[in-house]
Chains A and B, each alone.
Chain A
Amino acid sequence: MSYYDIDAILTDAEKIPCTFQIDVPDLGYLDNQPGHTLKSGSRVALPIWLAEMLAIANTGTIDMDDPSQSSKSFITFDLPPALGNDVVQALKADPRSVPLRDQSAHFYALATHMMELSEEPELSAVLRKTFVSRAAEIALHARKVGGAGGKGKGKATKDDNASNLGVGGAGEDFLRGLDEWERKLFRCAHDGTKASKEWMENVKKR
């Protein structure tokens, strides 16, 4: 993940639910109330680029009598709804039937980022399984789209039609639900199939 990576920057703009731990007079605008004090306990959705540092930075209090108070953060945060229990349960049931894009366009990037910030062993296991089973499906679709694209010259029509059976509408819905990372995977698989097909045709010509 580079500083200049566009997708990383867009991922950092995803909002996560945060709770302020102190009163801040000047930040009312974050809670749609400019000019008012942002009260301790207010729940506000903040972009990751802001929430991350606010949660890590401690307020600098060193209280000798009560050490538990000494490293209080400005805010605490929770997992965004995109990674909430509903979604995790749905992914456990059938990873392929969840349109990840509706949760977040950068679903996996968001999840990895969140896992860097807090320990979520179960989420990590679920996501790994999700990616693996979806990746297989993506690879399948990528190959079929290449064949059905109809850019081929003549012959291959019969075979392609046959292999496209059952992919129809459901396939389109699945592809629409891919997150940004999966889309890249799809593009790679698709371009790879196409390129090797072209190469094979050229070899035959010579």
Chain B
Amino acid sequence: MPMYGDLGNKLVQHAKRTQNLSHLPPYQTELVRAVAREIRDLDKDVASLLEPFQGSFDPSAEQATACTLLVNHLSMRRNKRCLLAYHRIRTDKLEELVWNGADILDLAGQTTGGPKGVTEGNEGGGTTSSLSPQEEDYFRQFGDLLALYKGQWTDIDLTGSLEPPRDLFIDVRVLKDAGEIQTEYGAINLTKNSQFYVRQGDVERLIVQGYLQKLG
């Protein structure tokens, strides 16, 4: 017998699984909608229960009704908590991805793997984004916010690697066409499958984004 709050629980179990994954699983649109619908239904029940009392409800005189109202209220509150927790887990993950320099396009078509090259065979359906439209918005705007914040310090790259480089220059192979980039030593045209000896600082972002692969 399904009960109020069961769907919310499912959502939280999804969140639990998400916690242990390196990528973001698809947004549970249907489940979120169902939980929100449940809240609206409960709210309607409450309204119709209270209607005959015309705003003069006395809980001690109507104990059974008071109990039903409490159960409905608690169910709504529970659902709200489940919804918020689910979305919070996901936004935390999104913020982490922004800090790691993930590209929204990579997230949208998560078939070849996550931003760090994690291969995921079981996701399927490469054309659908695993983000909800609102989450894509959040991702973009958080990216803007981070860029604005970083802009205050032109000398320091806050999202740069924390590992001190062993060598100033490194060999890289181009995995995806990345166009032309400007370096201190002139322009380099990064075409797929070519190989370069470049200054690490110049291409760090591109490595993180998966355009280049560090060799050796």
A residues near B, CB below 8 A? 3-7, 9-10, 12-13, 22-27, 29-30, 32, 47, 49-50, 53-54, 57, 59-62, 74
Q: Contact: B78 with A29, CB < 8 Å?
A: no
A-B contact pairs, 17 of them (CB 8 A): A3-B81, A4-B84, A4-B88, A6-B12, A6-B15, A9-B85, A10-B12, A13-B9, A25-B64, A26-B64, A30-B3, A50-B5, A50-B74, A53-B70, A59-B60, A60-B63, A74-B70
Closest Cβ neighbor of A12 among chain B residues: B78
20 more A-B contacts (CB under 8 A) besides A13-B12, A49-B78, A74-B63? A3-B85, A6-B12, A6-B15, A6-B19, A9-B12, A9-B82, A10-B12, A10-B13, A22-B64, A24-B64, A24-B67, A25-B68, A29-B3, A32-B1, A50-B71, A50-B74, A50-B78, A59-B60, A59-B67, A74-B70
Closest Cβ neighbor of A53 among chain B residues: B74
Q: Which residues of B contact A62 (CB under 8 A)?
A: 60
Instruction: Choose one: A9, A22, A29; the contact of B67 (CB below 8 Å).
Output: A22
Q: Contact: B19 with A59, CB < 8 Å?
A: no
Closest Cβ neighbor of A57 among chain B residues: B70
What is the bound-complex CA distance between A54 and B65, given in angstroms? 13
What number of residue pairs across chains A and B have CB atoms under 8 A from each other? 79
Q: Contact: A27 with B63, CB < 8 Å?
A: no
Closest Cβ neighbor of A75 among chain B residues: B67
Q: Which residues of A contact B89 (CB under 8 A)?
A: 4, 6
B75 interfacial contact with A, CB 8 Å: yes
B residues near A, CB below 8 A? 1, 3, 5, 9, 12-13, 15-16, 19, 49, 59-60, 63-68, 70-71, 74-75, 78, 81-82, 84-85, 88-89
Instruction: Choose one: A9, A10, A27, A49; the contact of B68 (CB below 8 Å).
Output: A27
Q: Which residues of B contact A5 (CB under 8 A)?
A: 85
Q: Contact: B67 with A74, CB < 8 Å?
A: yes
Q: Contact: A54 with B16, CB < 8 Å?
A: no
Q: Which residues of A contact B88 (CB under 8 A)?
A: 4
